Amino acid sequence: MTQTIQEYRINQLRSGFDQRKIDALIITHVPHVAYLTGFSGSSAMLVLTRSAAHFLTDGRYTEQARQEVRLPNVDIHIEREWWKYVHEKKLLEGSSIVGFEASHTSVASAESMKKIITGRSWQAIVGMVEAVVMVKTREEANFIREAAGIAAKTYDHVLRTTKAGMTENDVAAEVAYISKKLGSESEGFETIVASGVRGALPHGRSTNKVIRSGELVTLDFGCRVQGFYSDVTRTFAVGEPSLFDRAIFDLVLRANEAAILAAKGGMKVGVLDAVARDIIKEVGYGEEFAHGLGHGLGREVHEKPSISYRFADEIAHVGAVITIEPGVYLPERCGVRVEDDVWLTETGCEVLTEAIPKQLIIVE
């Protein structure tokens, strides 16, 4: 019998216990529990020891947990007070050092955990589950491809309906309505629509600003299929853009395409970031590309790895889905970003957002 991806990930986690000097790991971050068990509900925790796996959820999810959690040798517990339950049912019996997800546990929660579950020593764990769930299966990558397919149709609708005189909020509302109608489960983050001078704000959510003829519009939005997000940015023009704006667009597109050509599983994120950054620097806009090249993508919009010079030596593993999103932001003038999602392979990458045109499209 072949292993499911969930079993594979659980085994990978367990094989890291010795190195981290733990006997058990409590996984509290719900998207991580989903990657490790297949459960898609919003409330769950996994207690993983060297020999046992305990899945805890509450009464709302009794049936869903039984249907979705597909790990062999897992005990499903329906309970409200998890820490108390773990302690009273001795779920950590035999595990002296217990790891917990420090980046995903509030101080208050960690305190009550340590107070209620007595007789263990605790180890703050960071990045361990992240490294395991970074690697996506082809099926998972294809969910993102499907989400990007919805994004492609949504973008096509935006191009056909956006006109000078509309507000950024009008465009954002169309994106929400159409993507949902086309089957997107959720947007994942507030849609960014930044037109004209507002384009210089890398994360400018939409406002009531009227879009005028001659302006660039940066649109960044998410769609979700089977729990997996696409994250795409396109910049288009309403009316004829200036030659200057066109030149900035061409520069960003060139950086995006060069990074996609260079992207490959196993490479250092700093090397990939530099491929795009060097192109932009060469023209003198290095400072105006004021964020990392991209980020991991999956059940969350921002996952590991960060594709950034700030974490230069981290590795983007084969199987990671990452975004490639260079941008140039010129205060008082304009901004351009072009973002694609790619699945890293041994020899390069597959572009999951291929269906979404990225040349500069000019609408009336």
Please, which residue, 54 or 337, has the CB nearer to Zn ion? Answer: 337
Please, which residue, 206 or 233, has the CB nearer to Zn ion? Answer: 233
Please, which residue, 154 or 323, has the CB nearer to Zn ion? Answer: 323
Q: Return the range that interacts with Zn ion (CB under 5 A); candidates 78-86, 235-243, 268-276, 339-347.
A: 339-347
Q: How far is the CB of 213 from Zn ion (least distance, A)?
A: 26
Distances, alpha carbon 77 to alpha carbons 54, 86, 88, in Å:
7, 10, 13
CB 69 within 8 A of CB 76: yes
Question: How far apart are the C-alpha atoms of 300 and 209, rounded to whole Å?
Answer: 30
Please, which residue, 109 or 186, has the CB nearer to Zn ion? Answer: 186
Q: How far is the CB of 220 from Zn ion (least distance, A)?
A: 4
CA dihedral 111, 113, 116, 120 (to 10 degrees): -100
> Measuring CA to CA, which residue among 212, 286, 279, 275 is closest to residue 250?
279
Residues within window 180-239 making contact with Zn ion, judged by CB under 5 A: 220, 231, 233
Question: In this chain, which of 57, 218, 308, 323 binds Zn ion, going by CB under 5 A?
Answer: 323
> Measuring CA to CA, which residue among 263, 165, 179, 255 is closest to residue 210?
165
Q: How far is the CB of 297 from Zn ion (least distance, A)?
A: 7
Residue 201 CB coordination number (10 Å):
15
Which amino acid, 77? H
Total interface residues for Zn ion by CB under 5 A: 5
Tell me the backbone φ, ψ of residue 361, rounded to 5 degrees: -95, 135
Q: How far is the CB of 276 from Zn ion (least distance, A)?
A: 14
Please, which residue, 231 or 273, has the CB nearer to Zn ion? Answer: 231
Interaction between residue 273 and Zn ion (CB under 5 A): no
Q: How far is the CB of 263 from Zn ion (least distance, A)?
A: 15
Q: How far is the CB of 353 from Zn ion (least distance, A)?
A: 11
Please, which residue, 202 or 265, has the CB nearer to Zn ion? Answer: 202
Angle between helices 5-14 and 30-37 in degrees, nearest 10 = 110
Please, which residue, 6 or 323, has the CB nearer to Zn ion? Answer: 323
CB 29 within 8 A of CB 101: yes
- What's the DSSP call for residue 135? B
- What's the DSSP call for residue 69? -
Name the residues that contact Zn ion, by CB under 5 A.
Answer: 220, 231, 233, 323, 339
